[in-house]
Amino acid sequence: TVAVVLFTSDLRTHDHPPLHAAVAAADEVVPLFVRDPGIREAGFAVPNRDAFLADCLADLDASLRGLGGRLVLRSGPVAPEVCVVAAESGATQVYMTAGVTGYAHGREQRLRDALRRQGVTLRVYEGVVTAVAPGAVTPAGSDHYAVFTPYFRQWSKEPLRAPLPAPRAVRVPDGVRGEALPSRTRMSGVSPGLSAGGETAGRERLARWCRADLARYEERHDDLAGDATSRLSPHLHFGSLSPVEVIHRARGRGGPGAEAFVRQVCWRDFHHQVLAARPDTARRDYRTRHDSWRTEKDAAQDIAAWRDGRTGYPVVDAAMRQLRHEGWMHNRARLLAASFLTKSLYVDWRIGARHFLDLLVDGDVVNNQLNWQWVAGTGTDTRPHRVLNPVRQGKRYDPDGGYVHRWVPELEGVAADTVHEPWRLLPDRRAALDYPAPLIDLADGLARFKHARGRD
Ligand code: FAD
């Protein structure tokens, strides 16, 4: 018998339940990835994620070749393309991972219907993209948790399956056509500091980071200059690492660092279960609806300054420049940059979320949109009116100014006591810096926010 394994957000060989099951059940397996034009048309295929994806596909192909197989790449609408591959290979079963977004559900449904007409069964596996499947833990009277802490309490009690090993061998039937794999070296518009993708790189990073940095995660995760978080988010986004395996590894080491880290990984599952229950929150406010945001039309210059990292608030500018240079940003920096746009400039969170999605290598609808909503006060934050002050936050999380110095070279040499407030420098020194004056007075921004929220 022959089975097709359709890879989506699970680009790995280790801890891959559909691959594992298909190899056990069938004599031959077609590992398939379909480049879906719908993702490009919807604006989600951007250079940084395309490049990371190319690394993931190349690495997956190499791993499969090591097992005696290969990756088959095709392009086109997913349902008809999988049907063609099933027909060409004589497959009677297709195995895949369950998606979470509305888009993924639609794709899955179309695929199920198309395969059924061909007499092929689709087997879909939950709990692969997340550690705990959306909907597996729910509070009384609702289909999802709206607040993180009670979700985390329940989530922590869920039994976690043991990670599955990579298959010992994968036999691919002869005669299944595939396209040449893409290569990141031929792509333009990629951030120069983008990290390497693929399961091999992800597993190396996981092992190295757990050994060297996990134990001190609790004290260091907010230290902007220290850059001591795992940077596993792109691997979790593309599934080049399994969240189940990441949690097992961390728990295996134990201690407060591991506990704090696993709690953070749980945020990912939390957002997935919100979006699975409320797919509209990818665009629409989750809790409180606000209509008075400023838009591109009212705030074009402010938005451009924010995107370019020229707001005159050093820590915000450092964050936005890191995003452009690396396609990644530290969590504390994301919080600051998003709070500045939505609460200090009072710009619609969707505008910021779109810019992040254009650049973030880990950018996904689930975590990006729901974190933006959390910061904007329209989402699951139980204190929706909190406003992060970029000066105070800068002094607290970048006390020596190392993060600002790294990303804002205009402020090189400005001492730690003024680097977050360059307007306090002596006028001559200030004038000599090629660095903008603050875009707004924070007190004015706060007054506007409070006034608007009183009105909404
Ligand atoms: P670590 O601190 O090492 O955490 C480990 C893992 O936990 C991360 O890899 C990530 O998978 C998960 N995690 C940590 N914090 C969060 C969180 N708040 N929400 C969900 N998962 C979390 N994360 C994305 O993966 N994709 C996004 O598009 C995204 N957009 C964001 C936008 C905003 C405005 C904010 C405030 C946060 C966003 N995050 C997003 C969450 C978080 O900032 C990143 O996951 C984290 O910075 C990744 O770095 P790390 O892997 O070193 O994290």
Q: Do residues 190 and 49 make contact, with C-beta atoms less than 8 angstroms apart?
A: no
Ligand 1, atom nearest to 237 Cα:
25
**pLDDT value of position 217:** 98
Q: Does the residue 193 lie in any domain? A: no
The residue range of the domain holding 261 is 130-159+199-277
Residue ranges lining ligand 1, Cβ < 6 Å: 221, 229-233, 236-237, 264-265, 267-268, 271, 331, 334-335, 338, 356, 360, 362-364, 367-368, 371-372, 375
Q: Does the residue 175 lie in any domain? A: no
Nearest CA to ligand 1 atom 42: 331
- Measured in Å, residue 431 CA sits from the centre of ligand 1 at 38
Same domain? For 81 and 120 the reply is yes
Same domain? For 150 and 263 the reply is yes
Nearest CA to ligand 1 atom 15: 264
- Measured in Å, residue 145 CA sits from the centre of ligand 1 at 19
Q: Do residues 1 and 22 make contact, with C-beta atoms less than 8 angstroms apart?
A: no
- Measured in Å, residue 282 CA sits from the centre of ligand 1 at 16
- Measured in Å, residue 367 CA sits from the centre of ligand 1 at 7
**pLDDT value of position 40:** 87
Same domain? For 14 and 37 the reply is yes
Nearest CA to ligand 1 atom 37: 371
CATH of the domain at 104: 3.40.50.620
Q: Does the residue 174 lie in any domain? A: no
Is ipTM over 0.95?
yes
Same domain? For 315 and 221 the reply is no
Same domain? For 139 and 105 the reply is no
- Splitting the chain (456 residues) into consecutive groups of 10 residues, what average pLDDT does each group show? 98 98 98 94 92 98 98 97 97 96 92 97 96 96 96 97 97 95 94 98 98 97 97 98 98 97 98 96 88 93 98 98 98 98 97 98 96 95 92 98 98 96 94 95 94 78
The one-letter code for the residue type at 60 is: L
**pLDDT value of position 111:** 97
Same domain? For 50 and 140 the reply is no
Q: Does the residue 166 lie in any domain? A: no
Same domain? For 255 and 356 the reply is no
Q: Does the residue 165 lie in any domain? A: no
Probe ligand 1: pick from 246, 267, 367, max atoms within 8 Å of CB?
367
Q: How many beta carbons lie within 10 A of that of residue 334, not counting itself? A: 21
As given in the structure block, the two tokens for residue 42 are 């919807």
Ligand 1, atom nearest to 270 Cα:
20
Ligand 1, atom nearest to 352 Cα:
34
DSSP reduced 3-state for 417: coil
- Measured in Å, residue 323 CA sits from the centre of ligand 1 at 13
Total domains in the chain come to 3
CATH of the domain at 242: 1.25.40.80
Q: Does the residue 336 lie in any domain? A: yes
- Measured in Å, residue 340 CA sits from the centre of ligand 1 at 18
**pLDDT value of position 456:** 63
Nearest CA to ligand 1 atom 14: 264
Q: Does the residue 103 lie in any domain? A: yes
